[in-house]
C-alpha cells in the first residue's frame, strides 16, 4: 500500500475568540506551543512535506520554526482563512492531511488510522469522528441510507449517542478536491470547511470513528487551553506512576512531554519539569522546584529551587531557594544552599556553598568551602572573566573575588576580603582594611552633643 502524503496545518483565523495578540498556535502547554504538539503527531507519519497555512505571516511563527526541529513550508494568503489556493501548488504527494494547529492532544495513532482507512476505502475525503457527552455542542454527522456521511449539521439529535465530526481530514490530491476547496468562502472556519467538503464530495466520503474523544479537543478559548493542559498533564503523570515514580500530589505536578524521571524518584507538590529535563533514579524533587533543560543524577535532592540548563551530580543537595543558571555543573555530593546562584560554573565534588553566594564563570575544586556572602566578580562592564578556586580552598564570608583570579589549592581567604590577585596554594589571603577601635569615642560624642 502506497502511503506517502503531505500534511497541511491550519494556523490562521479565530484569534479573536481566543483573545490574544499572539498567534493562538504559539500559546504553550507544559512548556511547548500548541503547534509543536501537532507537528510532532504529524511527523510520525513521515510526510514528504509539512505545510503551515497562515492567514498572515508573523515574526513569532518564523522564530518558532527557526528553533524547531521541523522543516516546514509556510504558505500565507492575506484575506484567505486557510489559503488553499496557494497550498495547491505546494502539495505534491498523492494525498494530504489537513489538521488544525490547535489540537494538542491528537495522537499519531489516530492519524495513522485515518490514513489507512482513507486509502482502503478509496475515498476523496475522510475525517475523524467521535461520540461526545454533549452532542449538541459539536458538529453532527448525518449519514445516508448506505451509511456514508452526506452532511454535517450544527444541531445534535437531541437524544442518544450522536456522532460528531472533527476537523481532522485526509484528502486525495486530485482536481475535484481542489475545485471543492477553492469554492470555500474566505474566513472559513474548520467546521464550515468539513461541512462544505462533505456535501461537495459525497458519496466518496468516509468517516473514521476514533474511540478517544479527548484527543480531539480543539483549543478555541483560554478555558480550552487549560483543559487541554490538564489532560496532557494527567496523561504524563499516569505514565510516570506506571514506571515507578512517586507523585505525591498529581494535581500540582507539571511534567512536560520531553522530561524523563527515573525509578523510585519522588516528585513532591509544586514540581515543574520542562524541556529536556532528565531526573535520575532515587531523587527527591520539590516541594516547589522548577527545572528546565536540566539533568539531575541519581540520589540528588532539589527543593524550593530553580534550575535552567544545569547539571547536578549524584547525591548533590540543591536548595532551598538556590538558582542554577545555564552552564552550572554541580559535582557529586556538593551542597548548594539557601539563596546561592550559580552560572556557567563547574562546582567540584563535595563542595559546600551553604548560603547567600554568587558563583559565576568559575571553576571550584573538590571539597572547597564558599562562605556566606561570597561572590565572584566576573563582569567588568564589558567582558566576563573567570575565577578558579582550588581543591579544599576556604573562601571566607562576605568575600569578593575579582576575576580573573586564581585561589590555589588549600588556600584560605579571610572573611570580608576583596581579592584582586592570585593566591598561592596553602596561603592565607587578607584583603580588607585594618580594624581601628577608638575607646570611649561614642560616649564623648554623645556628651559633646549635649
Q: What residues contact residue 155 under an 8 Å CB cut-off, 6+ apart?
A: 136, 140
Task: Note the pLDDT of residue 161.
Answer: 63
Q: Which residues contact 305 (CB under 8 A, 6 or more apart)?
A: 289, 290, 318, 319, 320, 321, 322, 323, 324
355 is catalytic: yes
Q: How far are the Cα atoms of 39, 156, 262, 306, 402 from residue 293, in angstroms, in the given order?
A: 21, 46, 16, 11, 30
Q: What pLDDT sits at residue 80?
A: 46
What's the mean pLDDT in 57-61?
A: 83
Per CATH, the homologous superfamily of domain 244-429 is Hexapeptide repeat proteins (2.160.10.10)
Instruction: Tell me what the pLDDT averaged over the chain comes to.
Output: 92
Q: What pLDDT, on a 0 to 100 scale, did the predictor assign at position 189?
A: 77
* Structure confidence at residue 82 (pLDDT): 52
- Given a cut of 50, whether residue 79 has pLDDT beyond it is no
Q: What is the pLDDT of residues 101-145, one digit of tens each?
A: 999 999 999 999 999 999 999 999 999 999 987 766 688 999 999
For residue range 280-294, what is the model confidence (pLDDT) as tens digits? 999 999 999 999 999
Bigger pLDDT: 391 vs 63: 391
Summarize pLDDT for 325-347 with one digit per residue, the tens. Answer: 999 999 999 999 999 999 999 99
Say how far apart CA 22 and CA 268 lie, in whole Å. Answer: 33
In this predicted structure, which of 216-225, 371-380, 400-409 has the lowest mean pLDDT?
A: 216-225
Calculate mean pLDDT across residues 312-334: 98
CATH 2.160.10.10 in the chain, residues?
Answer: 244-429
Per-residue pLDDT at 446 exceeds 90 = no
- Average confidence (pLDDT) over 416-434: 95
Secondary structure of 230-298 in HEC code, one letter for each residue: HHHHHHHHHHHHHCCCEECCHHHCEECCCCEECCCCEECCCEEEECCCEECCCCEECCCEEEECCEECC
**Band (18; pLDDT cuts 50, 70, 90):** confident
Alpha-carbon distance 84 to 214, whole Å? 28
- Which residues belong to CATH 3.90.550.10 in the chain? 6-216
Are residues 353 and 337 in contact, defined by beta-carbon separation less than 8 angstroms? Answer: yes
Could you count the other beta carbons within 10 Å of the beta carbon of residue 186? 12
Q: Quickly state the pLDDT bin for 19 (edges 50, 70, 90).
A: confident
pLDDT, average across residues 344-365: 98
What integer pLDDT is reported at residue 354 of this predicted model? Answer: 95
pLDDT attached to residue 433: 85
Could you report the per-residue pLDDT of 165-185, keeping only the tens digit for each? Answer: 999 999 999 999 999 998 887
What is the model's pLDDT at position 187? 66
Q: What's the confidence (pLDDT) of residue 434? A: 86
81 falls in which pLDDT band (50, 70, 90)?
Answer: very low
Percent residues over pLDDT 70 in the chain: 94
> What is the mean predicted confidence (pLDDT) over 393-422?
97
The pLDDT-based confidence of 450 (bands split at 50, 70, 90) is low
Q: How many residues does the chain have?
A: 450
Active-site pick, 27, 202, 220, 355: 355
Which residues, 6 or more positions from 61, have their beta carbon under 8 angstroms from its beta carbon? 11, 23, 25, 26, 52, 54, 74
Name which CATH class applies to 6-216.
Answer: alpha beta
Weakest mean pLDDT among 72-76, 82-86, 245-249, 296-300: 82-86
Q: What is the pLDDT of residue 156?
A: 54
HEC assignment per residue over the chain: CCCCCEEEEECCCCHHHHCCCCCHHHCEECCEEHHHHHHHHHHCCCCCEEEEEECCCCHHHHHHHHHCCCCEEEEECCCCCCCHHHHHHHCCCCEEEEEECCCCCCCHHHHHHHHHHHHHHCCCEEEEEECCCCHHHCCEEEECCCCCEEEEECCCCCCCCCCEEEEEEEEECCHHHHHHHHCCCCCCCHHHHHHHHHHHHCCCEEEEECCCHHHHCCCCCHHHHHHHHHHHHHHHHHHHHHCCCEECCHHHCEECCCCEECCCCEECCCEEEECCCEECCCCEECCCEEEECCEECCCCEECCEEEECCEECCCCEECCCCEECCCCEECCCCEEEECCEEECCEECCCCEEEECCEEECEEECCCCEECCCCEEECECCCCECCEEECCCCEECCCCEEECCEEECCCCEECCCCEECCCECCCCEECCCCCCCCCCCHHHHHHHHHC
Weakest-pLDDT range from 66-75, 188-197, 205-214, 314-323 = 188-197
Amino acid at each position: 500500500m502506497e502511503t506517502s502524503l503531505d500534511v497541511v496545518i491550519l494556523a490562521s483565523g479565530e484569534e479573536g475568540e481566543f483573545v490574544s495578540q499572539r498567534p493562538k498556535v504559539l500559546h504553550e502547554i507544559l512548556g511547548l506551543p500548541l503547534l509543536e504538539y501537532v507537528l510532532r503527531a504529524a511527523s510520525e507519519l513521515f510526510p514528504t512535506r509539512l505545510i503551515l497555512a497562515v492567514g498572515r505571516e508573523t515574526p513569532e511563527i518564523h522564530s518558532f520554526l527557526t528553533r524547531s526541529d521541523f522543516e516546514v513550508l509556510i504558505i500565507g494568503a492575506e484575506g484567505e482563512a486557510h489559503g488553499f489556493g496557494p497550498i495547491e501548488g505546494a502539495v505534491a504527494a498523492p494525498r494530504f492531511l489537513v489538521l488544525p494547529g490547535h489540537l494538542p492532544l491528537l495522537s499519531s495513532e489516530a492519524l495513522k488510522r485515518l490514513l489507512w482507512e482513507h486509502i482502503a476505502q478509496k475515498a476523496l475525503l475522510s475525517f475523524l469522528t467521535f461520540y461526545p457527552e454533549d452532542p449538541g455542542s459539536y458538529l453532527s454527522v448525518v449519514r445516508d441510507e448506505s451509511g456514508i456521511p452526506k452532511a454535517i449539521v450544527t444541531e445534535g439529535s437531541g437524544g442518544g449517542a450522536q456522532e460528531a465530526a472533527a476537523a481532522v481530514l485526509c484528502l486525495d490530491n486530485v482536481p475535484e478536491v481542489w475545485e471543492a476547496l477553492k469554492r470555500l468562502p474566505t474566513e472559513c472556519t474548520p467546521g464550515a470547511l468539513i461541512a462544505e467538503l462533505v456535501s461537495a464530495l459525497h458519496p466518496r466520503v468516509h468517516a473514521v470513528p476514533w474511540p478517544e474523544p479527548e484527543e480531539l479537543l480543539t483549543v478555541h478559548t483560554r478555558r480550552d487551553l487549560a483543559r487541554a493542559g490538564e489532560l496532557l498533564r494527567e496523561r504524563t503523570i499516569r505514565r510516570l506512576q506506571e514506571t515507578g515514580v512517586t507523585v505525591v500530589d498529581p494535581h500540582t505536578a507539571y511534567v512536560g512531554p520531553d522530561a524523563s524521571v527515573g525509578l523510585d524518584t519522588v516528585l513532591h507538590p509544586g514540581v515543574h519539569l520542562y524541556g529536556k529535563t532528565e531526573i535520575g533514579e532515587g531523587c527527591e524533587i520539590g516541594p516547589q522546584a522548577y527545572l528546565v533543560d536540566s539533568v539531575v543524577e541519581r540520589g540528588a535532592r532539589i527543593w524550593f529551587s530553580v534550575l535552567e540548563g544545569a547539571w547536578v551530580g549524584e547525591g548533590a543537595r540543591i536548595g532551598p531557594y538556590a538558582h542554577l543558571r545555564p552552564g552550572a555543573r554541580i559535582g557529586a555530593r556538593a551542597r548548594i544552599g539557601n539563596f546561592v546562584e550559580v552560572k556557567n560554573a563547574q562546582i567540584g565534588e563535595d563542595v559546600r556553598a551553604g548560603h547567600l553566594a554568587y558563583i559565576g564563570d568559575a571553576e571550584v575544586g573538590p571539597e572547597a568551602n564558599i562562605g556566606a556572602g561570597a561572590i565572584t566578580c566576573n563582569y567588568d562592564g564589558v567582558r566576563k572573566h573567570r575565577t578558579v578556586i582550588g581543591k579544599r580552598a576556604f573562601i571566607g564570608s562576605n568575600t569578593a573575588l575579582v576575576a580573573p583570579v586564581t585561589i590555589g589549592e588549600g588556600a584560605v581567604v579571610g572573611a570580608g576580603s576583596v581579592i584582586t590577585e592570585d593566591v598561592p596554594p596553602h596561603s592565607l589571603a587578607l584583603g580588607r582594611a585594618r580594624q581601628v577601635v577608638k575607646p570611649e569615642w561614642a560616649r564623648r560624642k554623645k556628651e559633646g552633643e549635649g
